[in-house]
Amino acid sequence: MTEALSPELADDRPLFIIGSVRSGTTLTRDLLRRVPNFICPEETHFFRWAEPFRTPHSLAPYRNSALLKRHREMDGVDEQFFQAILGQSRSKVELQRRYIAAFARAKGITGPYRWFDKTPQNIYGAALIAHQMPKARFLFIVRNPLNVAASMKLGRQVKVADLYGACNYWLEAAAIFETMRLAYRERVMCLRYEDLIADVPSAMAEVLDHIGLSVPPATYHSRDAHPERNLWLTAFSAEEAVEICQTCGAVAARFGYDLVADLTAAGRSVQVAG
């Protein structure tokens, strides 16, 4: 069992899928899982929190979170074994790589593999990941903030009732990504959710080129595409939609979104201050 505790066993060229929650990171993960020997556990949240690792408050989420315990159960990683991994790790990077090695063993993977992590909130630790894992690459998934906020209001996976809280989930992720792109341009890729669902084969070809992987023919198909549901049309009043437009519109435009046009097309007049 000690072999799985070695952080060197996990490949050191990972991909981290990051962004705001409710932006399509789960769909992206599921598509990437089709790639042979490219593995990803459930969300780990190892870099989500800013507390320095092994300080008193830093370990509580890993020891006490019912959600993370459920994720480890889904991954096939025994809880007692995970606590041993946690105790041996000197840094978040060591914990991440030991966990990947344990996950691979739990899935019966004995040959070479590459791995990725899908925890959108790890964007809050992206600079630390980039510094401590110099071969890591990043895939930032961005989605129209109207639909991101609508998904949070409906709360099927993540519930954020406060309109500005939902906007800040999106805005903070966008701000961190834009800073990361300036510092690590070659290591960071942005993928719009709308472009992904419109043409899965083309979008995934770009992602795989970014990380230096190829896939067997017909791994992705045109039938993988599906239309955006635009939940914001029924989730928000006209006033709420305008507020999101005013709060997020300028930043959204830098990612190719025209929120004023979206509202206008839906018959909702809007005037953006400034």
Q: In this predicted model, what pLDDT tens digit does every residue of 9-40 receive, in sequence order? A: 677 899 999 999 999 999 999 999 999 999 99
Q: In this predicted model, what pLDDT tens digit does every residue of 167-182 receive, in sequence order? A: 999 999 999 999 999 9
pLDDT above 60 (res 125): yes
Q: In this predicted model, what pLDDT tens digit does every residue of 99-112 receive, in sequence order? A: 999 999 999 998 88
What mean pLDDT is reported for the chain? 93
The pLDDT of residue 268? 80
Which domains are delineated in the chain? Answer: 2-226 (3.40.50.300)
The pLDDT of residue 5? 47
The pLDDT of residue 110? 85
How many residues would you count in the chain?
Answer: 274
Is residue 23 within 8 A of residue 194, CB to CB? The reply is no
Partnered with residue 2 across adjacent β-strands are none
Partnered with residue 188 across adjacent β-strands are 138
Instruction: Tell the residue number behind the tokens 């790639």, with chain if given.
Output: 35
In 3D space, the residue among 127, 125, 120, 113 whose CA is nearest the CA of residue 142 turns out to be: 120
Q: In this predicted model, what pLDDT tens digit does every residue of 194-224 receive, in sequence order? A: 999 999 999 999 999 999 999 999 999 999 9
CA distances from 272 to 31, 60, 150, 268 (A): 37, 43, 20, 13
Using pLDDT thresholds of 50, 70 and 90, give the confidence band for residue 3.
Answer: very low
pLDDT above 90 (res 7): no
State the pTM of this model.
0.94
Is residue 192 classed as helix, strand or coil in its secondary structure?
strand
Using pLDDT thresholds of 50, 70 and 90, give the confidence band for residue 157.
Answer: confident
pLDDT above 90 (res 270): no
Q: In this predicted model, what pLDDT tens digit does every residue of 159-168 receive, in sequence order? A: 999 999 999 9
pLDDT above 50 (res 4): no
pLDDT above 70 (res 2): no
d(CA 224, CA 234): 25
Is residue 214 classed as helix, strand or coil in its secondary structure?
coil
The pLDDT of residue 91? 95
d(CA 45, CA 258): 32
How many C-beta neighbours within 10 Å does residue 168 have? 16
Using pLDDT thresholds of 50, 70 and 90, give the confidence band for residue 1.
Answer: very low
pLDDT above 70 (res 145): yes
